[in-house]
Structure 1
Amino acid sequence: MNRVVLIGNLARDPELRYTSSGVAVVNFTIAVNRPFSNQQGEREADFVNVVAWRQLAENCANYLKKGRKAAVDGRLQTRSFENQEGQRIKVTEVIADNVEFLSPRSESNTQAGYNNNPFEQSSSKDPFADDGKPIDISDDDLPF
């Protein structure tokens, strides 16, 4: 079985390209925190290359940016090629079958004060603390 699931932050903006036959392909790197600290007490991360194809590639290019949190589900693939100096280069990457965008689009993505909770409001005011009046919701608005 070859299955990989990663959750992390993009280390760089996605790079969208198209093959000669017009198929979209995107490359990006996701930083995944390790579950332990090093001897200095610092958390380290692994930087994993991810490749997505077709519509998923275009969606990633449109909605993901450096610093945004994403979940990647896919398979591990190793390939090799010869560089311009004639050296054999081996590359291991995740071929994404599904990518979930975990950061809200409106997020500013500043490193300080990163807020992953889209429901958390900046003010401490309770949005449901009304003066006891009933909420008017039509039956068409209910999901059931």
Structure 2
Amino acid sequence: MKIPDAFNHKPVIVADHYDQIDGRYAGRSDAKCLSLGITPGSDNRRSELSAQVWRSTGDTLSAQSEELPLHRALDLAILICRSLEHFNEAYIYEHLYDPEQPVLDRIGLQGSAMNVAICTDNANIREDIQTFNQAISDNGEMIGERLRTLSRVLKELGY
């Protein structure tokens, strides 16, 4: 399913076919895609990084707010971390990604895999990916603090 472009959230990185790996809902989930992107900031000058769970309403996708099952929140964390890894080296590409290879990674989960890919369905991907990359840079200190905390907590849990 194509992600609608009528929402404030502009997807840059997507994990499509998410319904195939959605925890205990795998194979029958209405959560069809996860995405990371940009949303106009509250001051309408700065873009904010955002995550979105795209749910199916039949033939289309909807950006309904929802309470997240824990496995879905962890899948979003995996998507965020893998995306940050890509953007650490994205400068080597003219458009911050290789248009011939938009899939950045396939991460095995529950007998299937979560694709981590550039959202090539986004008609403004070249602009939006630049904005997304800049927002990562602008928020680097805040993101880094949380990643270091997450890393510490995971180590304390034995992971």
TM-score normalised according to structure 2 size = 0.26
Higher relative contact order (CA 8 A, sep 6+): 2
Higher strand proportion: 1
Higher helix proportion: 2
TM-score normalised according to structure 1 size = 0.28
